[in-house]
Structure 1
Amino acid sequence: MTDMRVDALDVHSPVDGQLIGWLPTATDEDVAGSVLTAREAQPGWAATPAAERGTALKAAARAIREHAAELADVLHAETGRPATSALDGVLAGVSTLEQYAELGPVHRGRSLQGSPDAADFMVPGPRGVVVALTPWNDPVAVSCGLVGAALVTGNAVVHKPSERCPHTGVLLAQLMVDHFPPGVLQSLTGDASVGAALAASPHVDVVAHVGGTATGRSIAAACARTGAKALLENGGNDPLLVDADVDPVWAAEQAAIGAFTNAGQLCTSVERIFVHQAVAEEFLAALCEQARRWNADPQPLVDLRMREHVHAHVAEAVADGAHPLVGGEVPDREGAYYPATVLDRCTPDMRVMREETFGPVAPVRVVASFEDGLAEACVDEHGLAATVLTGSMANAQHAWRALPVGTVKVNAVFGGAPGGAAQPRRLSGTGFGYGPELLDELTTVKVVHLGQAQIHPSSQASRAAS
Structure 2
Amino acid sequence: MTVSNGVNGHKNTAGLLNWSYFKNVVNGELETTTNTRHSINPATGEPGPEVPVATLDDVERTLNAAKAASEKWSEVPYSERQNAMLAYADALEVEKENFSQILTQEQGKPLVFARLEVDLAIHWMRTIAKLELPEERVVEDDKEIIVRFTPLGVTVGIVPWNYPILLAAGKIAPSVMAGCPIVVKPSPFTPAGDLKLVELAQPFFPPGVVQVLSGDDSLGPILTEHPIPAKISFTGSTFTGKKVMESASKTLKRVTLELGGNDPAIVTDDVDIAAVAAKVAGLAFLNSGQICLALKRIFVQESIADKFLEAMVEATKTLKVGPGTEPDVYLGPIQNQMQFEKVKTLFADIQTEKWKVAVGGSGKGPEGKGYFITPTIIDRPQLDSRIVKDEPFGPIVPFLTFKDDEEAIRLANDTQMGLGASVWSNDVERANRIARKLHAGNVWVNTHFELDPRFPFGGHKESGIGTEWGVDGLKSFCNSQTLYLKKVPA
Corresponding residue of 1:342: 377
CA distance in 1, matches of 2:391, 2:128: 31
Matching of residues 129-208 of structure 1 within 5 Å? 129-208=154-233
TM-aligned CA deviation for residue 228 of structure 1: 0.6
**Which letter does structure 2 place at the counterpart of 1:359?**
G
TM-aligned CA deviation for residue 136 of structure 1: 1.7
Which of the residues 135, 139, 164 maps onto 1:113? Answer: 139
> Residue 270 of structure 2: SS of its match in structure 1?
coil
CA distance in 2, matches of 1:418, 1:181: 25
2:325 paired with 1:329 = no
8 Å CA contact retained: 1:244, 1:279: yes
> Residue 419 of structure 1: SS of its match in structure 2?
coil
> Residue 155 of structure 1: SS of its match in structure 2?
coil
TM-aligned CA deviation for residue 131 of structure 1: 0.6
2:334 paired with 1:306 = no
Corresponding residue of 1:381: 416
Corresponding residue of 1:268: 293
Corresponding residue of 1:410: 445
CA distance in 2, matches of 1:6, 1:58: 35
Corresponding residue of 1:463: none
**Which letter does structure 2 place at the counterpart of 1:118?**
K
Q: What are the Cα deviations for residues 108-127 of structure 1, in whole angstroms up to 9, with x where unaligned? A: 1111234x343321111111
Matching of residues 446-461 of structure 1 within 5 Å? 446-451=481-486, 454=489
> Residue 342 of structure 1: SS of its match in structure 2?
strand
CA distance in 2, matches of 1:394, 1:185: 46
Corresponding residue of 1:372: 407
> Residue 404 of structure 1: SS of its match in structure 2?
coil
CA distance in 1, matches of 2:454, 2:489: 48
CA distance in 2, matches of 1:448, 1:345: 58
TM-aligned CA deviation for residue 132 of structure 1: 0.5
CA distance in 1, matches of 2:357, 2:283: 19
Matching of residues 56-135 of structure 1 within 5 Å? 56-103=84-131, 106-114=132-140, 116-135=141-160
**Which letter does structure 1 place at the counterpart of 2:137?**
S
Q: What are the Cα deviations for residues 85-118 of structure 1, in whole angstroms up to 9, with x where unaligned? A: 1111112111211122222xx311111234x343
Q: What are the Cα deviations for residues 252-275 of structure 1, in whole angstroms up to 9, with x where unaligned? A: 112211111111111210111111
Corresponding residue of 2:238: 213
**Which letter does structure 1 place at the counterpart of 2:348?**
A
CA distance in 1, matches of 2:448, 2:430: 17
Mean CA deviation greater in 414-423 or 202-211: 414-423
Corresponding residue of 1:439: 474
8 Å CA contact retained: 1:317, 1:351: no
Instruction: State, as a whole percentage, how many aligned pairs show the same letter.
Output: 29
User: In structure 2, do the counterparts of structure 1 residues 436 and 33 end up closer, same or farther at CA, with 3 Å as the change threshold?
Assistant: same
Normalised to the residue count of structure 1, the TM-score between the two structures is: 0.92
CA distance in 2, matches of 1:94, 1:393: 33
Corresponding residue of 1:461: none
**Which letter does structure 1 place at the counterpart of 2:464?**
G
Corresponding residue of 1:459: none
Matching of residues 6-17 of structure 1 within 5 Å? 7-17=35-45
8 Å CA contact retained: 1:252, 1:290: yes
Q: What are the Cα deviations for residues 109-161 of structure 1, in whole angstroms up to 9, with x where unaligned? A: 111234x3433211111110111111221121111121111101111111111
TM-aligned CA deviation for residue 29 of structure 1: 2.2
Which of the residues 441, 450, 459 maps onto 1:424? Answer: 459
Q: What are the Cα deviations for residues 323-355 of structure 1, in whole angstroms up to 9, with x where unaligned? A: 112212232432010101111121221111111
Corresponding residue of 1:287: 312
8 Å CA contact retained: 2:347, 2:363: no
CA distance in 1, matches of 2:370, 2:34: 27
TM-aligned CA deviation for residue 356 of structure 1: 1.2
8 Å CA contact retained: 1:387, 1:408: yes
CA distance in 2, matches of 1:413, 1:451: 50
Structure with greater Cα Rg: 1
CA distance in 1, matches of 2:351, 2:148: 57
8 Å CA contact retained: 1:311, 1:328: no
Q: What are the Cα deviations for residues 301-331 of structure 1, in whole angstroms up to 9, with x where unaligned? A: 1122221111212322542132112212232
> Residue 470 of structure 2: SS of its match in structure 1?
coil
**Which letter does structure 1 place at the counterpart of 2:110?**
P
8 Å CA contact retained: 1:342, 1:364: yes
User: In structure 2, do the counterparts of structure 1 residues 10 and 264 end up closer, same or farther at CA, with 3 Å as the change threshold?
Assistant: same
User: In structure 2, do the counterparts of structure 1 residues 289 and 354 end up closer, same or farther at CA, with 3 Å as the change threshold?
Assistant: same
More helix by percentage: 1
8 Å CA contact retained: 2:153, 2:181: yes
CA distance in 1, matches of 2:471, 2:163: 20
Gaps in structure 1 of 5+ consecutive residues: 456-466
TM-aligned CA deviation for residue 30 of structure 1: 1.7
User: In structure 2, do the counterparts of structure 1 residues 192 and 428 end up closer, same or farther at CA, with 3 Å as the change threshold?
Assistant: farther
RMSD: 2.0
Corresponding residue of 1:49: 77
Corresponding residue of 1:401: 436
**Which letter does structure 2 place at the counterpart of 1:309?**
K
TM-aligned CA deviation for residue 235 of structure 1: 2.2
Which of the residues 335, 344, 351 maps onto 2:386? Answer: 351
